[in-house]
């Protein structure tokens, strides 16, 4: 047999790359386990080989061999029937306590650390945790440390928690036991605990046979939710949490062979004096790493998060702009696309307009764009396909609406007003889509995005967003003398933004924050601000000033509004540079110098709380209809 792999160097454990799989403690343990299995097989086959050899020798010598009586064959059907009945009666009961996990071997996982994009910090922490797992014996022997037994992945859905866990198992070359926490739950009392014990028993078995094993529990809050006091959760649910806590502390348990040896040692020690008693063999170390995933870590029982259990938490946030760019580059390399999408500016623009998208959402967006490419008869996605997929994802599919001529002009004028104000005041923003195609409840819309990743807003920037929201209403009043019912969502967005300024951001005359929890646990800031006479007057003053500014701007740039309106009436939808081309054609000299841009909020709503630290930029303005009715100007 080949020699065992060499030892791992201690200084390599803390580096940001995975250890060589041939030199780790896991590889050494796997080799020892392989040799042990070969010895067991040899011991089992040896008696059979000897028996067959003896029988062959007796046959050659002409001596009678050993045979079963011929009449015993009549009992065979009854024996088979008894076995089948036993399986039918006892099978469900025995199977109810089986571990519900799905086993993945390293060769079955097609994900590695190179496939985890846009999560450099999480990958770095995962690599270092994996190295401790792979070199646990070296770490303990030379430094006296104890490697981590469990880590918690927390973050919004679709941010790559399962993806990274699979990559860890593949890179580590160990079995990966995937299970959903809800699969442990059973209608029979006590069976949930039994399934938990079976799962950890399977982990210990694979860890001893393969040198290590990684267990992944999806949505662990389903079985690890915090226990309540008297009158709270039922005893059964508390018992499940208790069982999970016990199993997380019971990795090193003796095998059945060692338990048998232990009983023999105990029997012998009962006859021996204390100073001559035989020491029982210690339980073998089971190199297990349990990974729990949840998007509600605050719901977990505190005992699960103490040292020795899930004592290391890795948070998966929504990717930043540079991370989204990296993820998009990775997925676009696998998908057929037009050469225009290889342009650096297009890639950067795509990363900017997908703020708030998780990695899964980014892949889904590109897949939807491929569907749009098929619908138009293409064999690869284009920039326009991505825009169409993004609008369908955020707002809904476009629907044919038989507008009257007056309604078409009113909606086109309304959206052109938004776009003109956004072009004039939206510093650091770019126009994405201008449309009068009905999507969902929106009869028309303007989507605009930040040119750079932003997490905070200045007072002037929030005021600019309010002015953009009033652009549609001001345009209708200028061109038709009065605004229609389509301004409802714009007024709500503007009011919410003004309430944020006055009641939460200290941008009004008072520094008192009204963004506090009330007696029933609510946080309706707008209701609190509008419930105060002084704050209400200040909000109304902000809204009137912003509307007046928007009206003045549009009055001075009527030609831009008219150009955009006419283009919408002709083409129904303008995307990206098409908007700026129309504006350039309406300006003296045909240039859009000084023009700014704008961006769509992930959920497509207008002005959902701008200005908060860490808030997402917003910018979707809709010409809305009540109960699907068209809104006349």
Q: Residue ranges of the chain with pLDDT lower than 70?
A: 1-17, 20-23, 25, 62-75, 88-97, 228-238, 401, 517-523, 589-633
Say what the pLDDT of residue 595 is. 43
Say what the pLDDT of residue 603 is. 32
Last residue of a domain, one of 265, 298, 317: 317
Residue with token string 């989507």: 447
Last residue of a domain, one of 330, 365, 394: 394
Give the integer Cα–Cα distance in Å for 84 and 80. 6
- Residue 11 CB burial class (10 angstroms; 0-12, 13-18, ≥19): exposed
- 525, part of any domain: yes
Positive/negative CA dihedral, 104, 105, 111, 113: positive
Total domain count for the chain? Answer: 3
- 382, part of any domain: yes
Query: 429 forms bridges with which residues in the sheet?
Result: 450
- 528, part of any domain: yes
Q: Cβ(311)–Cβ(248) under 8 Å?
A: no
Say what the pLDDT of residue 514 is. 79
* Global confidence as pTM: 0.71
- Asked whether residue 538 falls in the same domain as residue 566, the answer is yes
Residue 292 corresponds to which tokens in the numbers above? 């729990």
**Beta-carbon count within 10 A of 331 CB:** 17
Distances from the Cα of 190 to the Cαs of 185, 323, 573, 608, in angstroms? Answer: 10, 45, 61, 47
- Asked whether residue 386 falls in the same domain as residue 407, the answer is no
- Asked whether residue 577 falls in the same domain as residue 606, the answer is yes
- Asked whether residue 535 falls in the same domain as residue 576, the answer is yes
Residue with token string 């955020």: 394
Q: What is the CATH number of the domain that holds 368?
A: 1.10.8.60
Q: Catalytic residue positions?
A: 415
Say what the pLDDT of residue 596 is. 42
Say what the pLDDT of residue 308 is. 81
Residue 211 corresponds to which tokens in the numbers above? 């040198």
- Asked whether residue 29 falls in the same domain as residue 173, the answer is yes
Residues 6 or more apart from 528 whose CB is under 8 A from it? 503, 514, 515, 516, 518
Say what the pLDDT of residue 607 is. 30
- Residue 517 CB burial class (10 angstroms; 0-12, 13-18, ≥19): exposed
- 271, part of any domain: no
Longest dimension (CA), the chain: 119
Give the integer Cα–Cα distance in Å for 415 and 569. 11
Q: H/E/C letters for each residue in 358-403?
A: CHHHHHHHHHHHHHHHHHCCCCCECHHHHHHHHHHHHCCCEECCCC
Q: Cβ(185)–Cβ(232) under 8 Å?
A: no
- Asked whether residue 389 falls in the same domain as residue 447, the answer is no
Distances from the Cα of 603 to the Cαs of 436, 541, 607, in angstroms? Answer: 19, 29, 11
- Asked whether residue 353 falls in the same domain as residue 452, the answer is no
Give the integer Cα–Cα distance in Å for 296 and 233. 18
Quickly list H helices, 135-280. Answer: 136-143, 161-172, 191-210, 221-224, 235-248, 256-269
- Asked whether residue 355 falls in the same domain as residue 462, the answer is no
Q: Identify how many contiguous H helices and E strands the chain contains and give both numbers.
A: 20, 12
Last residue of a domain, one of 360, 394, 428: 394
- Asked whether residue 345 falls in the same domain as residue 307, the answer is no
- Asked whether residue 340 falls in the same domain as residue 468, the answer is no
Say what the pLDDT of residue 90 is. 67
Give the integer Cα–Cα distance in Å for 417 and 85. 79
Say what the pLDDT of residue 16 is. 64
Tell me the pairing of strands 150-154 and 310-315: parallel
Tens of pLDDT, residues 539-549: 899 999 999 99
Residues 6 or more apart from 157 whose CB is under 8 A from it? 295, 358, 360
Residue numbers of the domain that contains 389: 321-394
Residues 6 or more apart from 45 whose CB is under 8 A from it? none
- 414, part of any domain: yes
Q: What is the DSSP letter of 103?
A: E
- Asked whether residue 516 falls in the same domain as residue 374, the answer is no
Say what the pLDDT of residue 359 is. 92
- 615, part of any domain: yes
Q: What is the CATH number of the domain that holds 158?
A: 3.40.50.300
- Asked whether residue 574 falls in the same domain as residue 607, the answer is yes
- 459, part of any domain: yes
Tens of pLDDT, residues 445-477: 888 877 777 778 888 888 899 999 999 999 999
Give the integer Cα–Cα distance in Å for 376 and 435. 19
- 167, part of any domain: yes
Q: What is the CATH number of the domain that holds 561?
A: 1.20.58.760
């Amino acid at each position: 047999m080949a020699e065992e792999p060499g030892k791992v160097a201690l200084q390599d454990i803390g580096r940001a790359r995975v250890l060589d799989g041939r030199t780790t403690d896991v590889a050494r343990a796997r080799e020892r386990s392989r040799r042990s299995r070969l010895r067991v097989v040899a011991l089992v086959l040896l008696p059979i080989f000897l028996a067959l050899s003896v029988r062959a020798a007796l046959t050659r010598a002409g001596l009678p061999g050993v045979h079963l009586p011929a009449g015993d064959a009549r009992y065979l059907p009854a024996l088979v029937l008894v076995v089948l009945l036993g399986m039918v009666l006892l099978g469900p009961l025995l199977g109810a306590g089986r571990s519900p996990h799905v086993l993945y071997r390293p060769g079955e996982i097609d994900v590695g650390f190179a496939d985890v994009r846009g999560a450099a910090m999480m990958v770095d922490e995962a690599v270092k945790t994996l190295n401790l797992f792979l070199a646990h014996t070296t770490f303990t022997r030379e430094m006296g440390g104890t490697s981590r037994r469990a880590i918690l992945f927390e973050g919004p859905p679709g941010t790559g928690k399962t993806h990274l866990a699979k990559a860890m198992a593949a890179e580590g070359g160990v079995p990966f036991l995937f299970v959903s926490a809800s699969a442990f739950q059973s209608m029979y009392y006590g069976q949930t605990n039994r399934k938990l014990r079976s799962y950890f028993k399977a982990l210990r078995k694979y860890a001893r046979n393969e040198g290590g094993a990684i267990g992944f529990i999806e949505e662990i809050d389903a079985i690890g939710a915090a226990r309540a006091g008297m009158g709270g959760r039922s005893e059964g649910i508390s018992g499940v949490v208790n069982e999970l806590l016990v199993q997380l502390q019971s990795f090193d348990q003796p095998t059945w062979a060692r338990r048998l040896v232990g009983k023999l040692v105990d029997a012998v020690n009962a006859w021996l004096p204390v100073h001559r008693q035989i020491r029982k063999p210690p339980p073998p170390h089971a190199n297990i790493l349990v990974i729990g995933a949840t998007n509600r870590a605050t719901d977990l029982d505190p005992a699960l998060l103490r040292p020795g259990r899930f004592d290391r938490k890795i948070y998966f946030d929504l990717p930043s702009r540079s991370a989204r760019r990296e993820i998009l580059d990775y997925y676009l390399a696998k998908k057929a696309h037009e050469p225009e999408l290889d342009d650096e500016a297009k890639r950067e623009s795509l990363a900017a307009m997908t703020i708030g998208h998780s990695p899964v959402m980014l892949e889904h967006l590109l897949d939807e764009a491929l569907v749009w490419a098929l619908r138009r008869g293409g064999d690869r996605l284009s920039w326009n396909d991505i825009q169409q997929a993004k609008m369908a994802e955020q707002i809904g599919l476009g629907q044919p609406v038989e507008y009257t001529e007056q309604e078409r002009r009113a909606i086109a004028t309304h959206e052109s007003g938004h776009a003109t104000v956004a072009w004039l005041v939206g510093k650091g923003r770019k126009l994405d889509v201008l449309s009068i195609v009905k999507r969902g409840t929106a009869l028309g819309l303007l989507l605009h995005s930040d040119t750079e990743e932003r997490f905070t807003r200045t007072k002037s920037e929030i005021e600019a967003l309010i002015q953009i929201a009033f652009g549609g209403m001001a345009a209708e009043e200028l061109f038709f003398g009065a605004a229609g019912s389509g301004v409802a969502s714009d007024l709500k967005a503007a009011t919410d933004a003004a309430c944020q300024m006055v009641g939460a951001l200290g941008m009004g005359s008072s520094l008192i924050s009204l963004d506090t929890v009330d007696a029933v646990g609510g946080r309706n800031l707008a209701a609190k601000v509008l419930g105060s006479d002084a704050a209400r007057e200040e909000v109304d003053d902000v809204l009137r000033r912003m509307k007046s500014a928007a009206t003045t701007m549009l009055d001075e740039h009527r030609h831009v509004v008219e150009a955009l309106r006419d283009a919408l009436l002709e083409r129904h939808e303008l995307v990206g540079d098409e908007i700026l081309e129309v504006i350039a054609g309406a300006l003296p000299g045909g240039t859009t110098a000084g023009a700014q841009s704008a961006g769509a909020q992930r959920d497509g709503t207008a002005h959902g709380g701008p200005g908060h630290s860490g808030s997402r930029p917003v910018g979707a303005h809709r010409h809305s209809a009540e109960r699907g009715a068209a809104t006349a100007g």
